[in-house]
Amino acid sequence: MAAVGRDVLKAKNVTNLEDISLGFHVPPKITVPHLHLHVLAPFSQVFKWAEFKYTSFWYITEEELLQRLMKNEKDERIGHINRILPEVAM
């Protein structure tokens, strides 16, 4: 989804991909019942109310979501190892 969002920005001649926000609303603060990615650019020029809406704890960026998913995957693997070899994990 993020790659498609970036492609759309490039097609719309957005050249500064450092000044964008790609992300998702966090439940229960959702307005539509399907997964969708918000693509905001240039992010530095959004209205103040929108800036709050897209930087609060009800919104997670694509990068933050990927980091959390990777950390959870790593933690689950470590937890699995701890269950198999509890004496080594101590």
Render 2-37 in DSSP notation, one character per residue.
HHHHHHHHHHTT---TTS-EEEEEPTTS-SSSS---
Confirm whether 36 is a catalytic residue. yes
Q: What tokens were used for 29?
A: 């603060």
Q: Which of 34, 36, 38, 80 is catalytic?
A: 36
Q: Which residues are catalytic?
A: 36
